[in-house]
Structure 1
């Protein structure tokens, strides 16, 4: 019997890949603030503002989901720093409403957090490490995690590392797609050598999330690739894989301005737990890039 999944942030980068990887043909009820031009027999779009709790409740009771996958958030770190009230409303307030609904109807909740909840002093963070965010966005994700853990009966908190992949719905924030467009124009792309991540591709991430939608794992899970790399090294591997000149990737000098929120240096994640509890394999970056290319659809790389 197919499950019904309520997917928030439906028009975003991650959610678009989840929709694309829905091979088990679960019914997806996708929530977005604007119309998204993609149709499927197992996909229905619902245009609403998640901050409107009354509308969200009506939708929840109408579609009767078995699982909620909550990807929606304001994730622009500097925007969150400058607009803390709206960031709090979207990233924390909406999560609280969803938790209340899940408790009322005994629905499983998969909540997307972030690697940005850590201060970056340690690196290779495990699920048990204590969050110490450096910026307001990170604090909203920590608050969301606590609401989920303290309120839900059936929950998963996902902490993805830097996500590489393509925006299959032509929307959402994909640094890979921005990089490709710059490369096509022969422009140089600047990436910092001091920011360290453990990149995970959007295809693997989506498959892992859909696996979690149907299994009984409960807890926090780091979804990250097997490699620990600087963002500069990540960009060079991408450029090499796509056949462009490595000269197009240059070092980005650290930015220190009053309008820019601080960034943690090393928020690489340890994926040992994910490799133990999931059938979906976590990949090296080279393997991940091959998988992205295999699933690129009509994108020209």
Structure 2
């Protein structure tokens, strides 16, 4: 059985990978994150504190646990924060990747790296893996730089690009669009939602499954991993309101321009999933199904 090491294991995707490994026992897991372990179950896997900005610590952890594959989920993903703090963004999204690439080359470890639809300009989505990148934000640029480092690496690698990941887990440090919309509307708060951006939102469980499949099938190259339903952000929020029977009159549709965000967003992304379906056996849930899964998990948490 292969041993995987995850970075960012306290995040939404990191916790979903832990959950999946514990439920299905397909792989051995070393979960790593900055600070203490926030996943409620502590048995059945190893946890190690690891700051991806500390190359010495990263090396020590990797040398101790000798993983067959590293799934690199840790990153700075707040698009406006990346624009405002380019130095930290570069350190987390590029320099940390270089540290991992060097170690994977040296120790013959497979690297599964999470990337984003924001590598594209959004002029012509949905996108295939071979389409030309052209980021419109510094976050997107940092992820392109990381992809280039990996593509030039003398190691076995796979890049999984994803879009607008949603889901719920324990002790989340960040919300996501589904939980944000549900929470605001349940509290009768008016919300502004853009109606001129299109995406294929991704259930966190589907992305976690794609990560594990990439290890098991020894995937190599770039893969597009998202949900299969293509919709505007406004449609997405209306579907959330619809599912939980919330008041849609609280939703105001606006243009991206009127938001005045620090960083520019691509207009139309979305992914063509044919390659991941064919090579990995990836089969994502529909958006409505994804909401049903989130709803069930919310009820289980009480």
Partner residue of 1:32?
33
Match of 2:153 in 1: 151
Select the residue among 67, 70, 87 that pairs with 1:68. Answer: 70
User: Is 2:247 aligned against 1:248?
Assistant: no
The answer on whether the counterparts of 1:203 and 1:292 sit within 8 Å (CA) in structure 2 is no
User: 2:291 corresponds to which residue?
Assistant: 289
Q: Where does 1:85-124 land on structure 2 (aligned, <5 Å)? A: 85-124=87-126
Deviates more, 1:167-176 or 1:220-229: 167-176
User: How do residues 6-21 of structure 1 correspond to structure 2 at under 5 angstroms?
Assistant: 6-21=5-20
| TM-score, normalised relative to structure 2 | 0.92
Q: Does structure 2 conserve the Cα–Cα contact (< 8 Å) formed by 1:50 and 1:94?
A: yes
> Could you list the runs of 5+ residues in structure 1 that have no partner in the other structure?
none
Q: Are the equivalent residues in 1 in contact too, given 2:166–2:176 (CA < 8 A)?
A: yes
The alpha-carbon deviation at position 39 of structure 1 amounts to 3.0
Q: CA deviation at 1:86?
A: 1.1
Root mean square deviation of aligned Cα: 1.9
Question: Residues of 2 paired with 1:297 and 1:59: CA distance?
Answer: 37
Kept in 2, the 8 Å contact 1:200–1:224? The answer is yes
Distance 1:297 1:48, change over 3 A: farther
Contiguous gaps of at least 5 residues in structure 2: none
2:256 counterpart SS class? coil
TM-score (norm 1): 0.93
Structure 2 residue aligned with 1:205 = 207
Q: Decide whether aligned partners of structure 1 residues 53 and 215 sit closer, same or farther in structure 2, where only a CA change above 3 A counts.
A: same
Aligned residues: 299
Residues 181 and 240 of structure 2 are in contact (CA less than 8 Å); yes or no, is this contact kept in structure 1? no
Tell me the distance in 1 between the aligned counterparts of 2:19 and 2:190.
Answer: 31
Q: Is the 8 A contact 1:196 1:265 kept in 2?
A: yes
1:147-186 correspondence runs (5 A): 147-186=149-188
Q: Deviations over 1:100-137 (max 9, x none)?
A: 11111111110000000100110111000011000111
Does structure 2 conserve the Cα–Cα contact (< 8 Å) formed by 1:167 and 1:174? no
Instruction: Kindly state the Cα deviation for residue 5 of structure 1 after the two structures are TM-superposed.
Output: 1.4
- Partners of 1:112 and 1:159 within 8 A in 2: yes
Change (3 A) 1:243 1:215: same
| TM-fit CA distance, 1:257 | 7.7
Aligned ranges 1:261-280 → 2 under 5 Å: 261-280=263-282
Structure-2 separation of matches of 1:123 and 1:4: 36
Contact 1:32–1:48 (Cα < 8 Å) also in 2: yes
4+ runs deviating over 6 angstroms: none
